[in-house]
Each structure stands twice: as structure tokens, then as C-alpha cells.
Amino acid sequence: MGRALIIGAGGVAGVVVNKCCQNSDVFEEICIASRTKSKCDALKAKLDGGKTKIETAQVNADNVDELIDLINSYKPDIVMNIALPYQDLTIMEACLATKTHYLDTANYEPEDTAKFEYSWQWAYKKRFEEAGIMALLGCGFDPGVTGVFSAYAAKHYFDEIHEIDILDCNGGDHGYPFATNFNPEINIREVSAKGSYWENGQWVETEPMEIKRVYNFDEVGEKDMYLLHHEELESLGINIKGIKRIRFFMTFGQSYLTHLKCLENVGMTSIEPIMYEGKEIVPLQFLKAVLPDPASLGPRTVGKTNIGCIFKGIKDGEEKHYYVYNVCDHQECYKEVGSQAISYTTGVPAMIGAMLVMNGTWCKPGVYNVEEFDPDPFMEALNKWGLPWKENFNPVMVE
């Protein structure tokens, strides 16, 4: 059907490439591009020989002109941004200049400020409309599938949704005293930032990890989870009819929290540059360099993830509760695509979103979040491509 340019060569990109090759009727050709071309070449070497034709390229995703040259040279139908969220705007600019569809898995955040929100990308809406191209934002799992779950619940089970609790549980064990399951820089910035939730049309801010709940997750068991700020709260608060409150919870083990607190106390999670031996370094970037690469965790991670949404609302005048979620096994993911489940649950939805844009199912000029489209084709594709979902019509609610 077409060709995709995949920018990024980390753990999630590896899953995206695998899944695009599995879906060769849609992704007839792909180009993997990154600052480090050897990583792209390694991915190509693993998957070459199938129906999907694979090319590789070197590109600095911070450089708009380099991106424009690559896009003009390769002429993809869509650019899949699987790089860092700091690079969202440069890649969007390049897509505008070349009139190419765009997709990412996480919203923009400035490199020098631990702040992530959609305003920067939503500001591109008119320009994308005028260019006749589409940008699909946040098409991973959370954000991404959680938005699709919300649209699906609103379409099929509720007249109004009043409350959404997004629960992200990683019950996996990688055996390290401390490691992060996705980019350490992004992960630690998220966790160490102040928490917040959306209630009655405004943000309520909390201290980092201030609000704790315990929940018994299907196929994982009882876990401690903590309220965090997360980007999809912002878009769901606008796009889901009748919403009064949205919260996001993520599970953490005590070892992770203890190590993180120690690193915070000694300044290693700071994003403020410091001078070291005559050179300026960012402590968090140095920490990232010494921690295990998330892409290397696959063979040693065991256990399962459970990520989903619990809804409370009204149907036919009566209160209704509904829970939809996915359970993903780390070792099964590794056997299939060589990754742990965190990368898998992000990479599969990115492939699905790109497929729906390329085949015209989800395709209209402008900048959109996933919950603004018909969820049914995406939900069907989740079952087909490795992330089957489960429903519970009488869930235990989060207090």
C-alpha cells in the first residue's frame, strides 16, 4: 500500500519495525532513520528478507533541514516519530514543509523544562489543515490506547462519562536494583514531577507520589500505585463528553522508589546543567548513560503488564461502571519481537495508528488525538496485532 519513514532506533522503534514488517500488505516499504545509523542497520539486518523492503538512513531529528532532505529523498506516505518528545516540533515542521502525514507516541516537552502538554502541538492544527495533511498525536498505549478505550466506552456503553481512572501496572521484574522500562530521562522526569489530575474543568496539583492507592490487577496481583500527571488527561478532559474527573495511576515497587529518592537527594535527577571538569553536563543525562538501556531488558524481564481504564458514568439514566484493559506478558513479547512488554505496548499501537492513517480509515487534515476518531477499527486491530483487550462490567473502583 505504501511506505513509512520511522525516526528512532530504540526499544519502541524495534517493535514498530517488527510490526510493520508483519503487516507488509500496508507497509510495503519502510526506512529506519536515526542519529546513529548503525542501530538502524542492526534492525534492518534482523528483519531483511521479508516482504517489506527496508532502508536505513542517518538523520539528526533536531535539525529541520536534515529532516526535510530525508523526507524529500525517501518520499514516505507517513513519518512515524518514535524518537524523543523533545523532537516532536522539529519533525512536525519537516512534515509541514514536505506535506507528509505525521504520527508520534508522546507529546512535546522542552528539553530544558520538565513540562509536557499538548498546547505546542495543538497550535499546529490550522497549518496542518491548510497543508492538507494530518498529525496523529500520542498514539502509543498511554497516551494512545487509553484514549481509544475512552472513545470506545463513550460510543458503546455510556451516554456520559463522568470519571476515568487510568491504571498502568507493570508487574515485570528485570532483576536490576534500579532500571527504567523506557527512556530513563523521560521516565524519571515524569515520576519526579508534581502530580496532577483533572477535576471539574481545572487541574488539581499534588506533590510527587503524594497520592497512593493499592489495586489488585488481573493476572498480576496486588500492587501499590501512585497518582502522576500524564498527558492524555489534558486531551480527554476536552474530548470526552460529560467528564468531571480524570486521574492517572502507575505502579512502582519500593526498591524503585528508594533508589529514585536517593538519586533525587544527591541531585542526579536534575535537568539543570552543572560544570564538571570544565565541561557542562546535565546530571539526568549522565544518569541515563550509566543506567541499563531499556532495549536490553527484554531477555531478563519476566511477569506481565496490565494497563487500562475504569469508567464511571450514566447510561439510560442509571450509574454504570466499566473497565477495559490489556494484559501483556514480557517473555511472550521477547519471543515475538525481542523486546519487553513496555516497548511492545507502545510500538504496536503506533503501527496500528499509522496503518489507519495510510489506509484512509483515520485520515483528515489537521492535528488530532486518537479519541477524536471512531475507536472500533483500532480496537479490532489491537486484538489482531498482539494486544487483545478484556472487559469487566463490575470492576472494583479506585477510591
The reported pLDDT for the residue numbered 287 is 86
> For a pLDDT cut of 90, what percent of the chain falls above it?
76
Secondary structure string (H, E, C) spanning 188-255: HHHHHCCEEEEECCEEEEECCCCCEEEEEECCCEEEEEEEECCCHHHHHHHHCCCCCEEEEEEECCHH
Q: Are 209 and 195 in contact (CB under 8 A)?
A: yes
Distances (CA, A) of 224 to 249, 250, 278, 303: 10, 8, 43, 16
Confidence of residue 113 (pLDDT cuts 50, 70, 90): low
Q: Is the pLDDT of residue 204 over 70?
A: yes
Please tell me the predicted confidence (pLDDT) of residue 265.
85
Grid coordinates representing 297 are 531488558
Name the pLDDT band for 268 (thresholds 50, 70, 90): confident
Per-residue pLDDT, averaged over 349-359, amounts to 98
Q: What is the mean pLDDT of residues 244-269?
A: 87
Model confidence at 177, pLDDT cuts 50, 70, 90, reads confident
pLDDT at 298: 74
Residue 213: CB atoms within 10 A of its CB come to: 16
pLDDT at 101: 98
pLDDT class of 116 with cuts at 50, 70, 90: low
What mean pLDDT is reported for the chain? 93
Residue with cell 485520515: 363
Q: pLDDT grade, residue 175 (50/70/90)? A: confident
Q: What pLDDT, on a 0 to 100 scale, did the predictor assign at position 355? A: 98
pLDDT of 220 higher than 60: yes
Q: Which amino acid is at 228?
A: L
Mean pLDDT of 154-162: 98
Tell me the mean pLDDT in the region 279-295.
Answer: 85
